[in-house]
Structure 1
Amino acid sequence: MFRVTVQRSFVAQHFLTVPNPGPEGEVHSHQFTAEVGFEGPDLDEYGYLVDIDAVKAAMATVVDRYRDTTLNDHDAFAGENPSVERFARVFCEEVIAAVDSDVPERARVTLWEDDEAWASYETAL
């Protein structure tokens, strides 16, 4: 199985909307690190699982959308608690929508919240 992973870091804010969120219910920032990975058993005619430059470009677009903003203000989180788990799914779906490749079979985003915790979302392509 081949795997390709690209990583980017950025700062964004959010506040949790669950009952009794404690201090997490106030707007606060996190240093997020997104690791976007693709995997599959085959390579394309050029020897690529996925074009790393295309992944970098897709990630840059997603990072630019969320960097220095409050997640709660984005349509992707409307009416939803903007947990790191949900953010991992949103980030993954937005990146894979922008990467044009038929070779990988799976995609995964691991999203670090500061350097203490992470959540991951994985999907078949």
Structure 2
Amino acid sequence: MFSVTVRDHIMIAHSFRGEVFGPAQKLHGATFVVDATFRRADLDADGIVVDIGLATTELKAVLAELNYRNLDDEPAFAGVNTTTEVLCRTIADRLAERVHAGSLGEGARQLAGITVTLHESHVAWAAYERSL
């Protein structure tokens, strides 16, 4: 399996519901380094997994929908704890929609999957992997 990863970051605000979250129940900010990894079994006719420029552009566009936002105010997250894991899945699903729409080029339609990893710090991160 071949893979290509592109990286960006987001800064968000949010709060959590539930005692398990302790002080994070209050509104707080988070900055995440975001890695999006695109996978395929074989390279395309151009010898690539995905166009890195298009992958970078589309990741930036997906993250722009979240960046500098209080996620508690976003209708898409109503009633949802926007944990790192939930945000990984959201970003992966939004990237998958862009792959299916052709935004990453025709060759990207043959991708096998996407993994999105959000790094909370240098010692903690979460990821979500999905098939395409």
Same structural fold, with TM-score higher than 0.5 when normalized by the shorter chain: yes
State yes or no: 1:118 paired with 2:125.
yes
Q: Name the structure 1 match of 2:94.
A: 94
Alignment CA distance shift 1:89-1:7 (3 Å) = same
> For the residues of structure 2 that align with 1:114 and 1:60, how far apart are their CA atoms?
20
Query: Contact 1:18/1:81 (CA < 8 Å) preserved in 2?
Result: no
**Shift in Å at residue 28 of structure 1?**
0.8
Query: 1:67-110: CA deviations, max 9, x gaps?
Result: 11112222331111111110100011112211332222111001
**Shift in Å at residue 20 of structure 1?**
5.6
Q: Name the structure 2 match of 1:8.
A: 8
Aligned residue pairs total 125
> For the residues of structure 2 that align with 1:41 and 1:21, how far apart are their CA atoms?
40
More helix by share: 2
Alignment CA distance shift 1:116-1:27 (3 Å) = farther
Query: 1:30-79: CA deviations, max 9, x gaps?
Result: 11011000111111111121111121111111221111111222233111
TM-score by length of structure 1 reads: 0.91
Structure 1: segments with no counterpart, 5+ residues? none
> For the residues of structure 1 that align with 2:122 and 2:76, how far apart are their CA atoms?
24
Corresponding residue SS for 1:102? helix
User: For residue 110 of structure 2, what is the amino acid of its counterpart?
Assistant: V
User: For residue 62 of structure 1, what is the amino acid of its counterpart?
Assistant: V
> For the residues of structure 1 that align with 2:131 and 2:95, how far apart are their CA atoms?
14
Q: Name the structure 1 match of 2:64.
A: 64
User: For residue 72 of structure 1, what is the amino acid of its counterpart?
Assistant: D
TM-score by length of structure 2 reads: 0.86
Q: Name the structure 2 match of 1:103.
A: 110
Structure 2: segments with no counterpart, 5+ residues? 103-107
Deviates more, 1:49-58 or 1:15-24: 15-24
